[in-house]
Chains A and B, each alone.
Chain A
């Protein structure tokens, strides 16, 4: 029984990390309905930012979060204003086309600058806490992961309040629902999209910085996390920030629990199978608005 409980707790911890990666996508794709194949590359850039600042200036990732987030925010805004704004004129598929190009460009740009070696950010504040272990009711909890998870949760709550409770958030939602009507009430859609892209990119960049404490940093790291992020946003339902959080926790738990009893190679397959199963009963995800 403790075996199962431990697996559930592990799953919830990972789920919070997944939520962090997914929340940026929840804004760009979930809310604004723009396909972004390069989401993982923004995360990868966040990881590289954290590594580079640690290796050259000795900054801890917790400190590096701020400059990296700002830089990637700028990148997100630039991506929209230079690329995606023009792509919006065409088919929805053109967005896939454009962001595939962006993926190739960003990933290999990093290869050109830094080579494909695996890098590790060592001796961080969070890593130093890794020897400390908390055991509650026979279940082991790692402090660093717990802290990272709490950070993720905090960011999520901030974002939820931003999107659902502020005027800016309402303006974002309005733009995604009906661009023309939004214009009629004085909202500038292009500005909304640009900010959404900036915010989405910055959030996943922050996720990258936090993840750099735990995972190795290399140019191809984007895929493994972001393929789950897509499933999470869709599972949670488009347009719902809370849905993304719930879906992320669910995904973490499914991944963790199934592997205890079933072949681990099918880890992600089980997650996606759950998506299909849930989708049969709720085609718009858990809390989807559209």
Chain B
């Protein structure tokens, strides 16, 4: 019993010492500490790890001299505005759990004394940490978080450089509406909405229903499935019975694979499949489709025209750096959003010439970054009153027979890309018969 009262204080003391050893110096720092909170294990680990690689890429770019790299802080070592101070990432894994995210962000702020927090990568957990960071008054950013609500709650310290779902889903429906005027089919009348049941999918679901109504499409089926579904055969059966022209599809890679198998078994393929993120943004799923042609003619919203962006020399150089951390995987659109956002963070710190929170926030709101410096196809970076980048618009892309994404909207960019959209969706037999881009 006496030992109990000795052990607990010792444990606590060890905790204080162990974590206190990581705290940083305040003004004129030699290192700028960026707190990185990500789901590196648990359900969202596949997303979190891409964001980690992206952040490591940016740390590399900032701290190393890349004289020919035309992105913020490419040339030169460290932050020139802070006398060459280096960028240091302080990474924490919240295991995809909200309570851990909430706790670790306090650790990062009060113990590690980071100057900026970037995270959490998923909209749900980011909304949990927003009030905390707002209370402590340091900048917070999440670039790939797509939920519109994140910038609608009036938080002054939260910044987002990437587009949100309202903008992105809007682009898909704009494309579908205007397609008939640009050589597309004129008989698309009905849509079925098929989404998973978590926050990200449901946000898309709500916005899609609104847009479908506005665009004059009739919603013939509206199904929400549970994430982690082991079979989607009955859902496919219902969708097939509803016979929609367009399937608006928002699911994660695992469920998308299940859907494809079940749709193939049922011999069903709607005329158009329009997606929003989910599997469409997952690099591994895209690579796997190259072996089966399973993704051909799927179209979806994309924050960037990757076929055009990847022609930029800066994109290629950044991709080489990224591949050092990602075990050879190319940058997908998620990584591109995160890298762009993180480079913006670095640029803001550099312009602020200080790590004082208020100065950082001011430099952030005054951002006006030109699109030449970006590896992604935003029109630039400039924030509106809600600290949302209003120049981050989306494009609409389609997967071709070569397994790569091609820009099909806006029409001017599509002309630049030089690709004619496929219509209708090829049948399963055609997919099997045609040559596959990869083995």
Footprint of B on A, CB under 8 Å?
3, 6-7, 10, 14, 17-18, 107-108, 111, 115-120, 122-123, 130-131, 133, 140, 142, 145, 214-216, 218-221, 223-225, 228, 255-257, 259-260, 263-268
Contact = CB atoms under 8 A, between A and B. Distances in A.
A246 to B, nearest CB: 19
A186 B266 CA distance: 55
B234 A131 contact: no
A111 B45 contact: yes
A264 B251 CA distance: 14
Given A116-B49, A122-B292, A257 B234 contact: yes
A191 B193 CA distance: 54
A3 B241 contact: yes
A143 B47 CA distance: 34
Given A120-B288, A142-B265, A264 B234 contact: yes
A6 B258 CA distance: 18
Most chain A C-beta atoms within 10 Å of own C-beta, residue among B237, B241, B253, B291: B237
Given A3-B237, A116-B49, A145-B265, A223 B228 contact: yes
B197 interface: yes
Contacts of B230: 14, 17-18, 215, 224-225, 228
A15 to B, nearest CB: 10
Contact of B43 (A220, A228, A260): A220
Given A7-B237, A255-B231, 8 more contacts: A118-B257, A118-B285, A140-B265, A218-B254, A256-B233, A263-B223, A264-B224, A264-B234
Given A10-B231, A123-B291, A259-B234, A216 B253 contact: yes
A120 B261 CA distance: 12
SS of A interface (majority)? helix
A215 B228 CA distance: 11
Contacts of A255: 231, 234
A263 B224 contact: yes
Contacts of B224: 263-265
Contacts of A215: 230, 254, 257-258
Interface residues of B, number: 42
Given A118-B254, A118-B282, A220-B45, A264 B264 contact: no
B49 A224 contact: no
Given A133-B265, A214-B261, A118 B237 contact: no
B324 to A, nearest CB: 15
B64 interface: no
A108 B257 CA distance: 23
A264 B235 CA distance: 7
A18 B230 CA distance: 9
Query: For B265, B282, B432, which residue has the most chain A Cβ atoms within 10 angstroms?
Result: B265
16 contacts: A14-B231, A107-B41, A115-B45, A115-B46, A116-B46, A116-B48, A118-B284, A119-B284, A131-B429, A133-B267, A140-B266, A255-B234, A260-B237, A263-B224, A264-B223, A267-B229
Contacts of B241: 3
Q: Which of B234, B261, B291 has the most CB of A within 10 A?
A: B234
Contacts of A220: 42-43, 45
B206 interface: no
B352 to A, nearest CB: 35
A9 B7 CA distance: 61
Nearest to A112: B41
A278 B284 CA distance: 42
B175 interface: no
Interface string B97-132: 000000000000000000000000000000000000
A10 B231 CA distance: 9
Among all A-B residue pairs, the 3 with the closest Cβ atoms: A116-B45, A224-B228, A259-B234
B153 interface: no
B225 interface: yes
A115 B49 contact: yes
B401 interface: no
B362 interface: no
A159 B371 CA distance: 65
A241 B428 CA distance: 39
Interface string B401-433: 000000000000000000000000000110010
Interface string B281-298: 010110010011000000
A186 to B, nearest CB: 43
A260 B238 contact: yes
A201 to B, nearest CB: 20
B266 to A, nearest CB: 6
Nearest to A263: B224
A268 B267 CA distance: 25
